[in-house]
Amino acid sequence: MAPLLRGDLNTGIPAPPILHADPVQGPVQPITTAEVEEALRRMKNGKPTGPDDIATELWKSRSWNPATWLTMFFNKIVTEKKAPTNWSCSIMVPIWKKKGSPANPTPQSYDEDL
C-alpha cells in the first residue's frame, strides 16, 4: 500500500476480474418509468454527490419528475447502443473508514466527469 500513500493511485489496488456473460438473445425490453422510480426510491439520502453534483434528494424530488426524463434518457442509450464516454472513466480514492489502519484505507470509486 506504500504507493497509495505517495499519491500514486494507478497502482496498488488490483482490479477484480471481468466476468463474461453470454449475450442476451432477442429484443431488449424498454426501461419503464416504474423501474426508474423504484431505483430512485432505493437511493440513500444524505450521501455525497457524484460528478453531476446533484444530490440524491433532488433526484428523488417530485417537483421536477426526474423519473420521466431519466427513463427517456436510458431508453435512448439502449436504442442507440451508445453511452456517454465519461461513464467509462473513474478515479479510485482511498478513504479511511475509521476501521483498521489509515495506511490501509478502503478504496472507493468515483466517476470522473470529463
User: What are the backbone dihedrals phi and psi of residue 111, each rounded to the nearest 5 degrees, phi first?
Assistant: -65, 140
pLDDT of residue 4: 47
Residue 58 three-state SS:
helix
For the whole model, what pTM was predicted?
Answer: 0.57
Grid cell for residue 10: 494507478
- Looking at the fold, whether 73 and 93 belong to one and the same domain comes out as no
Residue 96 within any structural domain of the chain = yes
Can you give the pLDDT of all 114 residues of the chain as single tens digits? 444 444 555 555 677 777 887 877 888 889 999 999 999 999 999 988 877 888 999 888 878 889 999 999 999 999 998 988 877 777 777 777 777 776 765 555 555 443
User: 110 is in which domain, residue-wise?
Assistant: 85-114
Residue 1 within any structural domain of the chain = no
Residue 79 three-state SS:
helix
Residue 8 within any structural domain of the chain = no
CA 114 to mean position of chain CA atoms: 14
